[in-house]
Amino acid sequence: ETGVTQSPTHLIKTRGQQVTLRCSSQSGHNTVSWYQQALGQGPQFIFQYYREEENGRGNFPPRFSGLQFPNYSSELNVNALELDDSALYLCASSWDQGSGNTIYFGEGSWLTVV
Amino acid sequence: AQSVTQLGSHVSVSEGALVLLRCNYSSSVPPYLFWYVQYPNQGLQLLLKYTSAATLVKGINGFEAEFKKSETSFHLTKPSAHMSDAAEYFCAVSESGATNKLIFGTGTLLAVQP
């Protein structure tokens, strides 16, 4: 148990649709990041939010967007879904934004795009 | 940009045998290094973390890893494998800076034979 909770656990969407994934960070953690893990691959960094501001982004197009709320929970939104967006989406939280802070992961949300 | 290489996508050992999972990183400065474990259909669990305090890092479940700067390696070991160790293992490096971004290797799937 890492204290990071994600919802939903599984969902199926049609190509072109939009999806919102949700995450509650571990108590006391002000930094949330999102990762995409395709089947058979390591997780890839999407972006990080610190105190409601995006402060780091990986190589993902703008149709991947996010929000962080005052209670530090977060959402990942993906517009215009493509088949290649099918993956496990992992939310993670840490005590602070800087490198080296231990990152705790949730169980993930499995997204299938058909 | 930093990167992580995990040699051997699949490793099979007998129960009770030594576990050795290899990880090499590319970095011009001492990085933060992590090992995570992922059980089937679950998120990532932190095994251990290197922060330059000590070159030999002890983690959970009897795992440890040794940081060797001269070899740019951070191999994971366990003296005696248990059936419950069967999982996928990811090595990750944290880029220095304001963003707590992890760069993961492609993972090593560990099988433990009875």
What tens-digit pLDDT sequence spans chain B (114 residues)? Answer: 788 999 999 999 999 999 999 999 987 666 789 999 999 888 899 999 998 778 899 999 999 999 998 899 999 999 999 999 999 999 999 876 767 889 999 999 999 999
> Exposure of B57 by Cβ count < 10 A (0-12 exposed, 13-18 middle, 19+ buried)?
buried
Using left for φ > 0, alpha for ψ between -120 and 50, and beta otherwise, residue A52 falls in: left
For the record, the structure tokens of B31 come out as 């990085």
Q: Is A108 on the interface with B (CB under 8 A)?
A: yes
Find all residues with CB under 8 Å of A61, minimum gap 6, and list them.
Answer: none
Q: Is B53 on the interface with A (CB under 8 A)?
A: no
A-chain CB neighbours of B103 within 8 Å are 45
Window 1-60 of A, Cβ < 8 Å to B: 2, 4, 31, 33, 35, 40-45, 48, 55-56, 58
Q: Is A104 on the interface with B (CB under 8 A)?
A: yes
CB count in 10 Å sphere of residue B15: 13
Q: Is A95 on the interface with B (CB under 8 A)?
A: no
DSSP state, B40?
T
> Exposure of B50 by Cβ count < 10 A (0-12 exposed, 13-18 middle, 19+ buried)?
buried
Q: How far apart are the first and last CA of chain A?
A: 32
**pLDDT at position B38:** 94
- Give B90→chain A minimum CA distance, Å: 7
| B108-B103-B4-B2 Cα dihedral, nearest 10 degrees | 180
| pLDDT tens-digit map of A46-96 | 999 998 999 899 999 999 999 999 989 999 999 999 999 999 999 999 887
